[in-house]
Chain A
Amino acid sequence: MNAEPMNLTGTPIPAKKGEILLSVENVSLRFGGVKAISGVSFDIRKGEVRAIIGPNGAGKTSMLNCINGFYHPQEGQITYKGVRRARMKPHQAAAAGIARTFQNVALFKGMSTLDNIMTGRTLKMRRGFFWQALRQGPAMAEEIEHRKVVEDIIDFLQIEHIRKLPVGKLPYGLQKRVELGRALAMEPELLLLDEPMAGMNLEEKEDMCRFILDVNNQFGTTIALIEHDMGVVMDLSDRVVVLEYGRKIADGTPDEVKQDQKVIDAYLGVAH
């Protein structure tokens, strides 16, 4: 059960919790006059499952967008792997090992499951234009090498039967799974999951939970997770940060957060 953590190409990953992988300090983000995030600080430690929760419009997704470079916060700083980042672009974040799934599935709809997950390997592929035009020798060898990794992911997520189908036609639960596969194909160090269980039935949710835990255990991937299902959040995560109206109102282990009066007020409302 407790096999040594390995990444997809077989090199072991040291599974140490405690070292800070990413830290967000005093980040504020404004859109015109609207303050989406104001002065939020928290950190994500290597190997943990970190949940970000909060009511609708609390700034959770905006936070993820800051982390992977879609938005550039006006104030504060984000340090990833010890490097403070200025205005990082999304493709730079990808190269640095940050992968992401979206709240509304953002798959490449016209492509097959296989091609979608293969796209996740783009950064790992080296062969240039001329070999690509020939699709022989080294280019084909590279394709096959990455196809093997992709097949491992397909195996892992149990989606063998939909390999060749265009993803646009798949049911929602499977689309979410393919999207997870695409993110995993990048072999990320930090995986951002934006509501991976939204709109799923109980069985699909349980499957997805299992996959998330397996990814965390087997590959040692650090996971930041936004989710509304409190049962899932409390079971999966090591630590939870709670946002409300763009501010952080609580941060700690699931048990601590559950007891926090501010969190209870934010979710249940306060009598006036």
Chain B
Amino acid sequence: MFYREAGQYKSTYAADMAVFPLRQDRIGIAVILAIAFIGIPMIGNDFFIATVMIPFLVFSLAAIGLNILTGYTGLISLGTAAFMGVGAYACYKLTTFFPGVNIIVLILISGLFSAAIGVLFGLPSLRIKGFYLAVATLAAQFFLQWAFVRVPWLFNYNASGAIEVPLRSLFGIPITGASASAETRYFVCLGLVVVLTWFASNLVHGRLGRSWMAVRDMDIAAELMGIKLLNAKLLAFAVSSFYAGVAGAMMIFLWYGGGEAADVFNIRLSFNILFMVIIGGLGSLIGSFFGAAFIASLPTILKFGLPALGVPLSGAAAEHVTFMLVGALIIIFLIVEPHGLARLWQITKQKLRTWPFPY
């Protein structure tokens, strides 16, 4: 009744090709942005912002990156965590060399290093496909993780092997390091995620996105349209790794605030991000957010939320119950809708469009 396109006529192609052609969708996105920028910092306490929202944003960005590669271009990668690691270490080295440069700029530049490494490990993708490519990207995961531990130059010969996040500020407000408040770090993450999501949405709606999807759906026909397969695939690897790299740098600098990074960027993280993309919805940007919320934020919310709701569970027991609940939910969602939460969202919108009359 409220969600309907009736009466919204498009008189230009530009209006018809908009990312959100429906007025209700545009209002929806404005409300979500308002909640993210104003509502959450006002309502949420530091603990909620630091343990739920910042990880959610970091994982969303990483999932968008992998979604560009796996969902849009059809190339499975198990090296996402390693590419995130490249971003984190690149950012650490950059801020050591150029302490005067703004850390946000450096986080974005470190994505470029990650993109370069991604292209390098993406080269086999012209020859190998599917599961075999997954195994080839596994090589990136193992090799890079090895490098993070064994190349002391990467962590500035620190005896503990950890990244020490220095204090860096913007307009006098500390945004990284021990004295940065959760709220500031949240705003920086949110800003980066919003801007990069906008870029990703532009890319997938334009010529490049269409060539990626063409490669995914029917590579022979794509080649016949004049799309060079190697270029399209490598570009997908580059963009995907850029997003992963930025997410990795954000993870260490804005979320963890340092630590033994080599242990963080392990194969388990790669798998987690792949699950986010699959459960969220392959080939859907909004699905990446759903997936990140489901896989990363839900367990945290359950773990700390159940005791708060009066369920007498704590510590280890809460963690085990969380595992069981999330596992069951994954199975339920995959049975209900194998194409992910994004498709479920689509179906809901379609139902809303005709509600309350079912035709």
Contact = CB atoms under 8 A, between A and B. Distances in A.
A211 interface: no
B207 A132 contact: yes
A103 B235 CA distance: 30
A110 B283 contact: yes
A122 B227 contact: yes
B199 interface: yes
Contact of A111 (B13, B199, B210, B226): B210
Given A144-B13, A144-B14, A107 B221 contact: yes
B197 to A, nearest CB: 12
Given A118-B210, A122-B210, A147-B17, A108 B226 contact: no
A257 to B, nearest CB: 29
Nearest to A140: B14
Contacts of A94: 223-226
Contact of B17 (A68, A91, A144): A144
B206 to A, nearest CB: 5
B221 A91 contact: no
Contacts of B227: 91, 119, 122
B166 to A, nearest CB: 30
Contacts of A182: 221, 225
A111 B213 contact: yes
B100 to A, nearest CB: 26
A135 B226 CA distance: 22
Contact of B214 (A68, A119, A143): A119
Contacts of A119: 210-211, 214, 222, 225, 227
Interface in A186-213: 186
A109 B202 contact: no
B101 interface: no
Interface in B93-133: none
A132 B304 CA distance: 42
A139 interface: yes
Interface residues of B, number: 29
A102 B210 contact: no
A123 B17 contact: no
B226 A91 contact: yes
Contact of B224 (A99, A115, A147): A99
Contacts of A110: 213, 216-217, 283
Give 4 nearest A-B pairs by CB, closest first: A135-B202, A94-B226, A108-B217, A123-B226
A122 B222 CA distance: 10
B214 A147 contact: no
B220 A106 contact: yes
Contacts of B228: 91
B224 A90 contact: yes
A107 B218 contact: yes
A148 interface: yes
Given A123-B225, A134-B199, A140-B14, 12 more contacts: A70-B220, A90-B220, A91-B226, A100-B224, A106-B218, A119-B227, A125-B207, A127-B207, A139-B206, A144-B12, A151-B13, A186-B226
Contacts of B222: 108, 119
A133 B202 contact: yes
Scoring B205, B223, B226, B283 by chain A CB atoms within 10 A of each residue's CB, the highest score goes to B226
A49 to B, nearest CB: 21
B17 A90 contact: no
A143 B225 contact: no
A3 B214 CA distance: 35
A34 to B, nearest CB: 21
Contacts of B235: 129
Nearest to A131: B206
A117 B210 CA distance: 10
A132 B208 contact: yes
A95 interface: yes
B344 interface: no
Contacts of B205: 135
Contacts of A127: 207
B20 to A, nearest CB: 13
B203 interface: yes
Contacts of A47: none
Contacts of A134: 199, 202
Nearest to B223: A90
Scoring B17, B211, B222, B224 by chain A CB atoms within 10 A of each residue's CB, the highest score goes to B224
A127 B208 CA distance: 10
Contacts of B225: 94, 119-120, 122-123, 182, 186
A135 B197 CA distance: 13
Nearest to B220: A106
B247 to A, nearest CB: 17
A122 B226 contact: yes
A91 B13 contact: no
A115 B206 CA distance: 9
A68 B223 CA distance: 10
A151 to B, nearest CB: 8
B218 A108 contact: yes
A68 B207 contact: no
B238 to A, nearest CB: 9
A147 B213 contact: no
Contact of A106 (B199, B213, B216, B221): B221
B218 A143 contact: no
23 contacts: A91-B227, A91-B228, A94-B223, A94-B226, A102-B220, A107-B221, A111-B213, A115-B213, A119-B222, A119-B227, A122-B226, A123-B225, A123-B226, A125-B207, A133-B203, A135-B205, A139-B206, A143-B13, A143-B17, A143-B206, A144-B13, A144-B17, A147-B13
